[in-house]
Amino acid sequence: MRIVVPMKAVPDLVEEIEITADGTGIDREYLKFVLNEWDDQALEEALLVKEATGAEVVALGLGSDPDIDASLYTAIAKGADRAVRLTGAGEVPDTATRARAVAGYLRDHPADLVITGVQAPDDLDGQLPATLGALLGHPHVSVVVSVALVTDPPEPPAVRVRQEFAGGRAAELVVDLPAVIGLQAARQAPRYAPISRIRQVMAAGGIEQVDPGLAPGSATGASGLAVRRMHAPEKTSHAQMLTGSADEVAGQIVDLLRSRGLVKG
Amino acid sequence: MSSNVMVLVEAEAGGVTDATVELIGKARELATAWGGAVEAVVLGPGEVGTGLGGADTVVRVEHPGLATYLPEAYENTLAELLVTRSPRLLMLANSTVGLDLGAALAVAWDAELVAYVVGLQTEGTTAVATAQILGGKILAEVGMAAERGVVTVVPGSFPAALGRVAGEPELVTVDAPGSLGSLRMRLERLVTPEGGDVDITAAPMLVSVGRGVGSADNIELAQEMADYLGATVSSSRPVVDAGWMPKSRQVGKSGLTVTPRAYLAFGISGAPEHLEGMRDSELIIACNTDENAPIFDVAHYGTTTDLFELLPALTGRLGG
Ligand SMILES: Cc1cc2nc3c(=O)[nH]c(=O)nc-3n(C[C@H](O)[C@H](O)[C@H](O)COP(=O)(O)OP(=O)(O)OC[C@H]3O[C@@H](n4cnc5c(N)ncnc54)[C@H](O)[C@@H]3O)c2cc1C
Ligand SMILES: Nc1ncnc2c1ncn2[C@@H]1O[C@H](COP(=O)(O)O)[C@@H](O)[C@H]1O
């Protein structure tokens, strides 16, 4: 069994985000990029499936993503068997182009299971799992919190997944392979790889480069969409900020609660 | 192409969800501007339920295979309805259902898609959508000029009152697609939420911790303060995923919706999925070292004091 985990670098949301001068994009120049946290969850779940079944895990990144190599090497250090970097999708590919690049790769190098993060917080979120499913003609399920290979009976090959809804409700589904899963959270917190091990892997190199050629079709039609303007949300309201030393702020908070009868005395 | 606006109806035990009623209200406004009708799609057998008075037509597909949500069954059914009924715009809630179906239907139907929509207006035949990106820190305004579009809308973005109107929609029953007989997935069982030791939806005061607390051990600091305050400790999702808090304490989209008299947030950024579960709390006080954190846009009071200083200071003030 072959599991592919697409990974994406996204701006670190703790950083200040600047809009470009023309107002239609974000200024990427000074942004710090980190691995999408949900991709780390997806990789963890894939590694758990590997441990249970001996599956091969392939970490997949887009060459144009800043610092993606570090994430791919880390994936190998954690237990992925191979890492692949896709070339040729352009500098800052839009969602549709990205999806078609990943779909193009998967068409030439089929996977039994694709586990993506449920969403990436940067652009129009959460589209890749469903887009890939539709482009490849595979069943797909998103907002999943566990994936296990069905071993009883072994035919046809399938996974059992748990899909989450609001209020902690969930459904257990059996999905025939090949399938695409959007992962919300792995069964356990993502593992760490020791820095020394990551360094070793980096020194050995070995990220495979593949130019996938774009899969045909206008994925999500997103390419036709014109972003007119980006802006920070207009603050219809903003918190009144409490300042001073920690003790002074604590005093103000206690007073606020006391004035509402929430603190006695 | 028509000028109709189609809404997928989601229901829960109590009837049609608030998110659906909000969509119908907005669909009404768009359809009126375009001179079209509002079509509410109800999948599965059983009662239609109240709450759809704002629709002109209720389109029903009664197949038993649609009784509970199954991604592929819903997708195939909607894909066929989109082709046969050809609306201008399909509106879905940005729920699990929206995440499953939005992009897939956009590909199948060759339509434009905007996800995480919080605003929607017409400009002639164009729909102008405002969507959250970058975890809600930035809004993007997008013109949807093509003949077909799909939007997934963040619950709470539009007033439910506009959709909660009396009316007698025309009922149209449609056959299910034949493909429901040959699906590649099946429902094995539904899982009800595990009961927790406490019910955070009933707590008058919540001290809520986010990833900013850094480790399971540090939750002790919040617990101690909460004990002096007589409050219950809740959390954001990553804290639950890390195994630091039980699932029953999770506030937000995939957790519980709370409206306590006071919600004190420590080290929570205020992602849209978290805000969805707590924004209607009576008093919100947020502590976050990032002055641009979105939580400050819904909080009444805020501070950028480090939580590791503020929590002990609060405990001290409360008599600890
Ligand atoms: C389908 C779906 C459903 C989801 N459902 C939910 C849900 O139900 N509930 C939920 O919460 N999330 C949910 N999420 C996740 C959501 O998108 C965010 O990832 C999550 O809310 C972030 O949690 P956080 O604010 O604790 O962490 P972060 O976003 O990492 O924020 C941590 C914050 O702590 C601050 N901080 C760090 N150190 C300190 C310090 N010393 N003192 C003070 N502040 C500090 C930082 O500035 C930062 O703002 C869902 C996501 C998806 C895709
Ligand atoms: N450029 C990319 N390279 C690799 N994987 C990606 C890329 N874009 C999206 N993904 C995957 O798709 C998921 C959802 O992303 P999105 O649809 O952008 O919200 C991410 O968590 C990744 O697993």
Dihedral sign, Cα of residue A210, residue A216, residue A222, residue A225 = positive
Q: Confirm whether the ipTM is greater than 0.95.
A: no
Residues of B (121-150) whose Cβ lies below 8 Å from A: 128, 131, 133-146, 148
Q: What's the gap in Å between B277 CA and the centre of ligand 2?
A: 26
pLDDT in tens, B103-154: 999 999 999 999 999 999 999 999 999 998 888 888 999 999 989 999 999 9
In a domain, A115, yes or no: yes
Please check whether residues A202 and A148 belong to one and the same domain: yes
Cβ-based neighbours of B178, under 8 Å, separated by 6 or more: none
Amino acid at A9: A
Q: Does A58 contact ligand 2 (Cβ within 6 A)? A: no
Residue that wins the pLDDT comparison between A248 and B134: A248
Question: Considering only CB atoms, which chain B residues are within 8 Å of A263?
Answer: 229, 318
Question: Considering only CB atoms, which chain A residues are within 8 Å of B309?
Answer: 246
In a domain, A198, yes or no: yes
**DSSP codes of every residue in chain A:** -EEEEEE-EEE-TTS---B-TTSSSB--TT--EEE-HHHHHHHHHHHHHHHHH--EEEEEEETTSTTHHHHHHHHHHHT-SEEEEE--S-SS--HHHHHHHHHHHHHHS--SEEEEES--SSSSTT-HHHHHHHHHT--EEEEEEEEEE--SS-SS-EEEEEEE-GGG-EEEEEEESSEEEEES--SSPPPP--HHHHHHHHHH--PEEE---PPSS-GGGGGGPEEEEEEPPP-S--PEEP-S-HHHHHHHHHHHHHHTT-S--
Q: Check: CATH 3.40.50.620 for B5-182?
A: yes
Average pLDDT over residues A197-222: 78
In a domain, A31, yes or no: yes
Given this chain, do its domains B5-182 and B200-318 carry the same CATH topology?
Answer: yes
Number of domains present in the structure of chain A: 2
Query: Which token pair is A177?
Result: 């392979």
Q: Does A37 contact ligand 2 (Cβ within 6 A)? A: no
Beta-strand relationship, B126-133 and B138-144: antiparallel
Q: Which band of pLDDT confidence, cut at 50, 70 and 90, is reported for residue A109?
A: very high
Please check whether residues A27 and A92 belong to one and the same domain: yes
Please check whether residues A122 and A26 belong to one and the same domain: yes
Q: What is the CATH number of the domain that holds A147?
A: 3.40.50.620
Query: Which token pair is A11?
Result: 């701006």
Least CA distance to A124: which residue of chain B? B115
**What CATH number does the domain located at B200-318 have?**
3.40.50.1220
Dihedral sign, Cα of residue B71, residue B72, residue B77, residue B81 = positive
* B78-113 exposure pattern, b = at least 16 Cβ within 10 A, e = fewer: bbbbbeebebbbbbbbbbbbbbbbbbbbbbbbbbbb
Q: Which band of pLDDT confidence, cut at 50, 70 and 90, is reported for residue A228?
A: confident
pLDDT in the model for residue A265: 65
Partner-chain residue, chosen from B242, B297, B301, that has the shortest CB–CB distance to A240: B301
Cβ-based neighbours of B227, under 8 Å, separated by 6 or more: none
Please check whether residues A64 and A117 belong to one and the same domain: yes
Please check whether residues A36 and A116 belong to one and the same domain: yes
Average pLDDT over residues A135-148: 96
Domain that holds residue A262: 238-265
Average pLDDT over residues B227-254: 95
Please check whether residues A153 and A242 belong to one and the same domain: no
Q: Does B137 contact ligand 1 (Cβ within 6 A)? A: no
CA angle A29, A30, A34 (to 5 degrees): 100
In a domain, A113, yes or no: yes
Q: Is residue A250 predicted with pLDDT exceeding 80?
A: yes
Q: Does A103 contact ligand 2 (Cβ within 6 A)? A: no
Please check whether residues A40 and A151 belong to one and the same domain: yes
In a domain, A223, yes or no: no
Q: Is residue A233 predicted with pLDDT exceeding 60?
A: yes
Say yes or no for a CB contact (<8 Å) between A217 and B296.
no
Please check whether residues A244 and A177 belong to one and the same domain: no
Ligand that lies nearest to the alpha carbon of residue B133, given by its number in the listed order: 2
pLDDT in the model for residue A124: 58
Q: Which band of pLDDT confidence, cut at 50, 70 and 90, is reported for residue A219?
A: very low
Domain boundaries, chain B: 5-182, 200-318
In a domain, A222, yes or no: no
Please check whether residues A66 and A137 belong to one and the same domain: yes
